[in-house]
Amino acid sequence: MKKFMGLALVAIFAMAALASSASAKVVLTLRDSAGVIPAGTHIIATSHNLVTKTSAGNLECETDELEEVLKVNGAVKDTGTTETGMSRNFGNYLGIPGACKTSAAGPAVITTSNYPWPEELTTKNTNVTKGTKKITFTSEFLGLAPPNKCTFEDAKITSTFKAGAHGSPIPVEFTTAGAVFKLNPKIAGTAAICPKEGTLGGTWVLTDANGPVESEL
């Protein structure tokens, strides 16, 4: 009888352990060379191949940076926010400092607005950047006389990435594909050449002050 009761207790404990394991939440954890990245850390997403394609030509900068302050790490949804002045788009097209390349209207300077931009990285391997109310960027074409600007907006940008298994984190690289930005023709200074929309695509890598950022589930 004692032997039977002992086996029954073992079975109960095993089932309880399995139930506990099954109910445990899968979370996304960001790490760097120093360990788990704490809240308050500045993380920079950098792209060198980001292109906005339009019917009037393409727009591309040598470097695009999107910096965020990490708010929550080690959750189903890790969060952060990008504030004013923490998004940068720049190049040196035709030797003009800060100018990006366009295939239709020569050099352009890009500015971004409608901050803050909340950020979410999820266990579903998605990164979502939202605007307040919309993510907005304005291209000012230096070779044209005013009105010489195009302002494009999108409610959010969704990118994808791969995360490593628990205990085996891998570097974070986002892929943005097919993000459609619509022209806001009501903005003062809008040029006649502005297309109605543009499609954004490219890849991003994440770093912080300690080097590459990695993720694990």
User: Torsion angle, CA of 17/20/25/29, rounded to 10 degrees?
Assistant: -40
pLDDT value of residue 10: 45
Q: What is the pLDDT of residue 8?
A: 46
Domains contained in the chain, number: 1
Containing structural domain, residue 171: 2-216
The residue ranges of the chain whose pLDDT is under 70 are 1-23
Nearest C-alpha neighbor of 112 from the set 174, 142, 154? 154
Predicted local confidence at residue 165, as pLDDT: 97
pLDDT score recorded for residue 119 = 97
Question: CA 183, CA 164: separation in Å to the nearest integer?
Answer: 38
Q: Looking at residue 101, what is its pLDDT?
A: 95
pLDDT for res 23:
54
> Residue 186 gets which letter from DSSP?
T
Q: Vertex 36, ends 212 and 166: CA angle to 5°? A: 90
Q: What is the pLDDT of residues 25-83, one digit of tens each?
A: 899 999 999 999 999 999 999 999 999 999 999 999 999 999 999 999 999 999 999 99
